[in-house]
Copies of this chain bind each other. A is one copy, B any other.
Amino acid sequence: MKRKIRMGMIGGGQGAFIGEVHRMAAALDGHIQLVAGAFSSNAERSALSGQDLYLEKERVYGSYQEMIEAEATLSEEKRLDLISIVTPNHLHFEPAKLALEAGFHVICDKPLCFNLEEAYTLQKLVNEKALIFALTHTYAAYPMVKQAKALIADGKLGTIKKVVVQYPQGWLSTLLEASNQKQASWRTDPTKSGIAGALGDIGTHAYHLAEYITGLQATSICANVNTKVDGRKLDDDNNILLAFNNGAHGVLIASQISAGEANNLNISIYGSLGGVQWSHENPNQLQAKWSDKPDQIFRTGGSEIYPLAQAASRLPSGHPEGYIEAFANIYKNVAMSIQNKLTGTQSKPHHNDFPTIQDGVRGMEFIYACIASGKANHCWTEL
């Protein structure tokens, strides 16, 4: 019989930003119940977070090791199905590995992990186990992004020739990490973030978005990797040329020193017959531009929406769906996939429409290629 999926969370304690988003996303559609957590490596803080979340005391743990070990021993009626990992990059690999080894499905925040070696190890592990591993590239979960993907898959744009994806943020325009601001500190710290700053934090989102929508793969890149704020240890501004496997070219911009920008991810894709444009600032519309007819505006829930996009929306046209709903699309599809496994039901196509370990590995490879190209005076580097 169908039942709610039971979820535990690693990280996301009081003061965290993305943990709260994961919880709202998991709760939204009513298929997942948060029942356990190791919200902090400090047991007391973890307990306080658990209390805020109305969890049973005994299922709030002082460490992720403890949680995974304890939950693995619970009866099938109680045991977690799914573990959500919302820690900084350097704390993805270990908990993910343990969780998978203990037989739990995993949802992990991006980028996949700390370095390329970890990525390949995880990939191997996921492929060995028959477990779900989802990565929260949230932007690809917006209905109008899926509409763009479907239009292209349907051939409406002809052959794809050009991709321009920009991800400007401005919040790191100053040396914010010097004031110990929590979000800035770990993201600019090579011991926690890895070899990249903005490239990993937002560049991987932009890169995934471009590949997801077009169905293409970048084969080589030429990267201008900058650190524009004095004293910063990692990149904060990147301008990258892209070459794709079908001969298309493109540009990817990932910058956290674009002062005044909040979170203005946007993408333009041009084929031989027309183009599409999507912007995260107005996510419920997709503008299509045509060589030989007027522009069209597709809207979430509106006319001529493909099934892939329709499956990702909850409301009639004119009722804006936002970031949490996009995030929830990943959680919903993962929950449906787990439920299908539990009940032996065949998944519908859109149930598999979430980023996987392969997307995670590609993201890590992208980071490494960009850093290599940047160091080599921005010459073209294969991916």
Q: Which of B29, B299, B322 contacts A24 (CB 8 A)?
A: B29
Q: CB within 8 Å of B: which of A316-359?
A: 316-325
Bound CA span A303–B301, Å: 27
| Chain B nearest Cβ from A272, distance in angstroms | 6
| Chain B nearest Cβ from A29, distance in angstroms | 7
Q: CB within 8 Å of B: which of A154-172?
A: 157-158, 161-162, 164, 166, 168-170
Bound CA span A199–B289, Å: 23
B320 touches A323 (CB 8 A): yes
Supposing A281-B318, A322-B321 touch, asked if A290 and B303 sit within 8 A by C-beta, the answer is yes
How many positions in chain A have a CB within 8 Å of any CB in the partner chain? 94
Report the nearest B residue to A270, measured CB to CB: B258
Report the nearest B residue to A242, measured CB to CB: B239
Q: Kindly list chain B residues whose C-beta atoms are within 8 Å of the C-beta of A164.
A: 166, 253
Q: Kindly list chain B residues whose C-beta atoms are within 8 Å of the C-beta of A241.
A: 222, 224, 239, 241, 378
Bound CA span A296–B293, Å: 9
Q: Which of B53, B237, B323 contacts A315 (CB 8 A)?
A: B323
Bound CA span A253–B316, Å: 21
A222 touches B28 (CB 8 A): no
Query: Which of A28, A31, A264 counts the most chain B CB atoms within 10 A?
Result: A28
Apart from the given pairs A30-B54, A319-B322, A321-B324, 13 other A-B contacts in the complex at a CB distance below 8 Å? A24-B314, A162-B228, A162-B255, A169-B318, A170-B270, A173-B291, A224-B249, A260-B270, A262-B317, A263-B317, A281-B318, A293-B304, A294-B298
For the complex of A and B, the 9 pairs showing the least CB-CB separation, nearest first, are A263-B318, A260-B289, A262-B318, A320-B322, A322-B322, A295-B297, A262-B317, A319-B323, A260-B275
A sample of 28 inter-chain contacts (CB < 8 A) reads A3-B54, A20-B314, A24-B30, A28-B28, A30-B34, A30-B53, A157-B259, A161-B257, A168-B268, A168-B270, A169-B318, A174-B272, A222-B222, A224-B249, A237-B249, A239-B251, A259-B275, A260-B288, A260-B295, A262-B301, A262-B316, A283-B320, A294-B302, A295-B297, A314-B324, A315-B324, A322-B322, A324-B325
Taking Cβ atoms with an 8 Å cutoff, the residues of A that contact B are 2-4, 17, 20-21, 23-24, 27-31, 34, 51, 53-54, 157-158, 161-162, 164, 166, 168-170, 173-174, 222, 224, 226, 228, 237, 239, 241, 243, 249-251, 253, 255, 257-264, 268, 270-275, 280-284, 287-299, 301-304, 314-325, 377-380
